Amino acid sequence: MKFKCKLCLIYSFLIFRIPLITSVTTPLPPTIESTIEFTVTDSGTTEEGDKVEMPRVPLTEQVMDHNIRMSDVPDVDPEATNVPDSSLDRNRVLRDVAYFIRAHKFHDYDRRYYKSAEEATCRLYEEFPKPGLRSLHWEVRKHCEASFIECLKYLERIVRLTALRREDDTVTIVREQKWSTANNTEQILAAQRDCQIAQRRDNLVAAPFQGPIERFQWRTTVSYYMCWYTMLGAPELATFGEPCDNHANCLDEYGVHNKDPRADDTKPYACALYSFCPDHCCPMKHIRYMKDCYQSQNNPCYAENQPAHRKCTLNRDENRDFQALRANQINVSCECHRRGYEWSSRFGLCVDVNECVRGTHNCSRHNGENCLNLPGHYGCICRLGYVYNSETRQCVHSPEIDRALRICAKETKAAKAKSLFAEIAKTITRSAESRYACYGVNLPLILIVLTVHFYVFLI
């Protein structure tokens, strides 16, 4: 035993010390640590590479100073804010703002990355810009965070400064004057000419904004807030008081009414959703019937379901998180044809409802039952200590099982404790033995070995 230990010490010096010294000068073979280091730095460099490959177009935030002030627009002045609410025709203001945001939703594109609508890979009626705005337009944020009414008043002030306003759009004029194409051709053409001139001016100058990029940031921020207020159910947004079925585009190929069923003002919040929110159920510019949506492959419910069950619905209640909205995490639901399943927008498929967690089961703990979740349904099983009585069809308490369980529990506890003691005892014995063997008695031997080692090292 003693001799073995001496040998082991010599080994440890000769075998481990010497390679350790040489290892300092010669390159190390790859070790786990170095491989990890390599992979870490590798992924680091690829990330850097990704960053470099990002589009080189400056972001809105880089182009714009955070503290810019729109020259034409006064700051919130108390005079303007104290206008009694009764003088504010909320419905008209809402229609004006919605008109301006529809022009954005249906015709604008992500100005940060693209130079034309044709280049853009994703349209604003499909989803909010991706990636989302890094910073919201400061002024919109200031007013719209204050309150819904404050927000409306501010938006109204800005929208009035744009070139093409809702009341000057050919569609609005034709509707209000009740003109017909047969009897009022001349007047319609004149109105259309004016409308298109104003539209061009907006496209060129983008007043009252500093340019198209700021207008993009402004309108995107407004759509975030107005979509959010729609989800929250601001009562003013429930109906607009007139159809909103146009793309805010003068008289275009869709006519005076584009007859999009999603723009039906008789349905609560339909116009607000149509104007302010991208449509995740039906990411299409124009549809004639709802079934056009359901039978489209863009419908998130298309792949999972049979033709008759592809209805996609948006529950406003499930979409009240402002940050989630900005990030396009809009929750929609699909039908699930199997019973006991429900749509999960997180996973994009039908998942089993856990009746036990949701508490929709009728198992009675009091009667000795436990709930067991099963695919599509649930079952009631007898709790530990109970057995099923097939005659009464109930779980009944069983004293024998209880007793057996109690004994079993005691035994296992005792057995565990015993083996633990044995283990501890063994460990203690082992360590005592080794210390005694190596350091207690053989100190002179160790010294000899050390001397030999240094001698070898010096040579």
Ligand X SMILES: *[C@@H]1O[C@H](CO)[C@@H](O)[C@H](O)[C@H]1NC(C)=O
Q: Are 333 and 343 in contact (CB under 8 A)?
A: yes
Closest CB to ligand X among residues 143, 280:
280
Please tell me whether residue 312 binds ligand X under the rule CB under 6 A: no
> Rounded to 5 degrees, what are φ and ψ at 135?
-135, 140
Query: From the list 325, 334, 395, 438, which residue makes contact with ligand X (rule: CB under 6 A)?
Result: 325
127 binds ligand X, rule: CB under 6 A: no
Q: Provide the token pair at 194.
A: 């004016």
In 3D space, the residue among 24, 203, 179 whose CA is nearest the CA of residue 107 turns out to be: 203
Q: Quick check: bond before 27 cis, omega within 30?
A: no
Asked whether 381 and 369 are in contact (CB, 8 A), the reply is yes
CB of 180 to ligand X, least distance (A): 3
Q: Report if residue 273 touches ligand X, rule: CB under 6 A.
A: no
Q: List binders of ligand X among 166-195 (CB under 6 A).
A: 180, 182-183
324 binds ligand X (CB under 6 A): yes
- By the rule CB under 6 A, 39 interacts with ligand X: no
- Answer whether 335's CB lies under 8 Å from 341's CB: no
Least separation in angstroms between residue 378's CB and ligand X is 8
Q: Which stretch binds ligand X (CB under 6 A): 33-41, 120-128, 317-325, 400-408?
A: 317-325
- N residues, the chain: 459
Contact with ligand X (CB under 6 A) among 319, 350, 369, 382? 319
- The 8-class DSSP code of residue 364 comes to -
| Cβ nearer to ligand X, comparing 43 with 329 | 329
Look up residue 350 and give its two tokens: 């039908």
232 near ligand X, judged by CB under 6 A: no
Scanning 254-262, 300-308, 320-328, 424-432 for contacts with ligand X by CB under 6 A, the matching segment is 320-328
The whole-angstrom separation of Cα 456 and Cα 305 is 80
- Cα separation, 281 vs 277, in Å, equals 11
As a whole number of angstroms, the distance between CA 162 and CA 72 comes to 11
Count residues contacting ligand X (CB under 6 A)? 14
Q: How far is the CB of 98 from ligand X (least distance, A)?
A: 20
Residue 356 found at the interface with ligand X (CB under 6 A) = no
State how far the Cα of 144 lies from the Cα of 151, in Å rounded to an integer.
4
Residues that bind ligand X (CB under 6 A): 180, 182-183, 318-321, 324-325, 329-331, 346, 362
